[in-house]
Amino acid sequence: MVRGKVELKRIENSSSRQVTISKRRNGLLKKAEELSVLCDADVALIIFSEKGKLYQFASSNMQKIIQKYREYVKIDDDCNPETEVYTQQLKHQDAARIQQEID
């Protein structure tokens, strides 16, 4: 028996949505743990529910993984000249807008 494709759209029924997020969240947490064990990978997963409840998994120290991510992204951003040019353009646009407001 083959399952049909699930149409990806918001589930309107709140009780059905709650059941779905619970099942999928648990499946996602299980997959993250399996990935970390099988592949010896550092894995961090953070989920905030609709009501703001936090669910998280970290294969090691969450803070260390987040710091590693920040350092990686910073290095990656520094190596990308297009990002630097775009950031500078935004700064100049903001400065020009602020100057117009002051004038």
Q: What percent of the chain has pLDDT over 70?
A: 88
Q: Which residue has the higher pLDDT, 16 or 83?
A: 16
Q: Residue 6's pLDDT is what?
A: 77
Fold of 1-60: SRF-like (3.40.1810)
Taking alpha carbons only, the member of 68, 48, 52 closest to residue 60 is 68
Q: Delimit the domains of the chain by residue range.
A: 1-60, 61-103
DSSP 2: -
Q: What would the pLDDT profile of 26-55 be if each residue is shown by its tens digit?
A: 999 999 999 999 999 999 999 998 888 999
Report the chain's C-alpha Rg in angstroms: 21
Q: Which two tokens stand for residue 55?
A: 């669910």
